[in-house]
Amino acid sequence: DGAPAHNAIIVKLQLNEMFGNRWMGTHGPVKWPPRSPDLTPLDFILWGHLKTAVYAEPPANLQDLINKITVACRQLTKEQILAATYREVSRRLELCLEKNGGNFEHFIR
């Protein structure tokens, strides 16, 4: 909805107490990037799906490329997007727990 995150001082104090300087937020010690690409559902499925579908056979021309992209996008269902998002978020949470909240980005494919 575009509304900024709530930043109540009591919440920030609690986060500082629990995590020290290791939490992300709009006004936190680690700045939360706007529209973080590693957290958007389509990044978990769309780009890989498009690459596979569109380039299975190289497009003959620009119109063929546009058509292949359109068809590939229409093939994806909400259920597939949600399942891929759930799977990837779960995997990342498990990695985060394994690394005790430390950096795990290099373990993500």
Report whether pLDDT(92) > 90: no
Report whether pLDDT(78) > 80: yes
Both structure tokens of 82: 């949600």
Do residues 46 and 76 touch, judged by C-beta distance below 8 A?
yes
**pLDDT for position 58:** 93
Domain boundaries, the chain: 1-34, 36-107
Instruction: Output the 3-class SS for 7-55.
Output: CCHHHHHHHHHHHCCCCEECCCCEECCCCCHHHCHHHHCHHHHHHHHHC
Report whether pLDDT(1) > 50: no
Do residues 66 and 85 touch, judged by C-beta distance below 8 A?
no
